[in-house]
């Protein structure tokens, strides 16, 4: 599965699964995907809505012992991530392009994930868009099913209304337990800032971070 190919983005040969170049490669797979075929026996971390992938790449470089799978519906962001994965020859990063509600639900075994991270997702402020919100009880329930016992669901938002809604949504999923005494953290628990986070910091917005742990 992992073979050396000409890097389509330039820079010579790179060891990379060929189908990783196509956002919908996962459609050829039996679902849920046997991720160990691609990533070995590593713990699995998923980032949902990774944007252009800077945070995902930084985390993957910091934790080569962990397999990272990014889910993003924005094609340009997906391509940017792949370009860096290829240029840097990273073997512990995979990505799938599509809607995270579908992909997280179908592509992962129940109880198989070490973490699911959602950084600054689109807010979808209108009521008719509510079902698309990632910071929702519906999405948290899917994530909770996919987490192993002790696995973490992590989220961040710049918007105080969505922070409040996220807190209520977490409260609606009893198997998720908050890891901090305060309703949310106002300082980032991560060693890297995401692209949007840097923007919000420059604008002086208050940020809200959540870490919950799955308990069966």
Ligand X SMILES: C[S@@+](CC[C@H](N)C(=O)[O-])C[C@H]1O[C@@H](n2cnc3c(N)ncnc32)[C@H](O)[C@@H]1O
**Among 26-34, 37-45, 167-175, 195-203, which window interacts with ligand X (CB under 6 A)?**
195-203
Which residues are CB-neighbours of 124 under 8 A, at least 6 positions away?
130, 132, 133
101 contacts ligand X (rule: CB under 6 A):
yes
30 noted as active-site residue: no
Contact pick of 108, 196, 210, 212 for ligand X (by CB under 6 A): 196
* Candidates 24, 99, 122, 149; catalytic one: 122
77 contacts ligand X (rule: CB under 6 A):
yes
C-alpha R_g of the chain: 17
Would you call 110 helix, strand, or coil by DSSP?
Answer: coil
Compare residues 50 and 108 and give the one whose CB is closer to ligand X.
50
192 contacts ligand X (rule: CB under 6 A):
no
Tokens found for residue 198 = 């840097």
71 contacts ligand X (rule: CB under 6 A):
yes
Q: Taking the C-alpha atoms of 149, 150, 151 and 157 in order, what is their torsion angle to the nearest 10 degrees?
A: 130
- For the purposes of burial, counting CB atoms within 10 Å of the CB of 132, is it exposed (0-12), middle (13-18) or buried (19 or more)? middle
70 contacts ligand X (rule: CB under 6 A):
no
**What's the gap between Cα 115 and its chain centre?**
9
Between residue 30 and residue 69, which ones bind ligand X under the rule CB under 6 A?
49-51
Q: Rule CB under 6 A: which residues touch ligand X?
A: 49-51, 71-74, 77, 99-101, 119-122, 134, 194-197
Q: Hey, which residues are catalytic here?
A: 122
């Amino acid at each position: 599965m992992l073979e050396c190919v000409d890097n389509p983005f330039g820079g010579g040969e790179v060891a990379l699964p060929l189908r990783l170049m196509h956002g919908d490669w996962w459609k050829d797979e039996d679902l849920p995907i046997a991720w160990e075929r691609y990533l070995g026996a590593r713990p699995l971390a998923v980032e949902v809505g990774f944007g252009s992938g800077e945070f995902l790449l930084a985390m993957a470089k910091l934790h080569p012992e962990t397999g990272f799978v990014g889910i993003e519906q924005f094609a340009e962001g997906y391509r940017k991530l792949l370009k860096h994965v290829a240029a840097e020859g990273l073997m512990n990063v995979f990505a799938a392009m599509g809607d995270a509600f579908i992909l997280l639900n179908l592509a992962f075994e129940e109880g198989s994930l070490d973490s699911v991270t959602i950084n600054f997702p689109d807010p979808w402020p209108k009521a008719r868009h509510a079902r698309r919100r990632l910071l929702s009880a519906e999405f948290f329930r899917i994530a909770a099913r996919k987490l192993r016992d002790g696995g973490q669901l992590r989220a961040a938002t710049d918007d105080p209304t969505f922070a409040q809604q996220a807190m209520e949504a977490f409260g609606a999923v009893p198997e998720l337990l908050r890891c901090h005494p305060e309703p949310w953290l106002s300082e980032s628990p991560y060693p890297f800032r995401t692209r949007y986070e840097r923007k919000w910091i420059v604008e002086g917005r208050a940020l809200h971070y959540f870490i919950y742990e799955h308990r069966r």
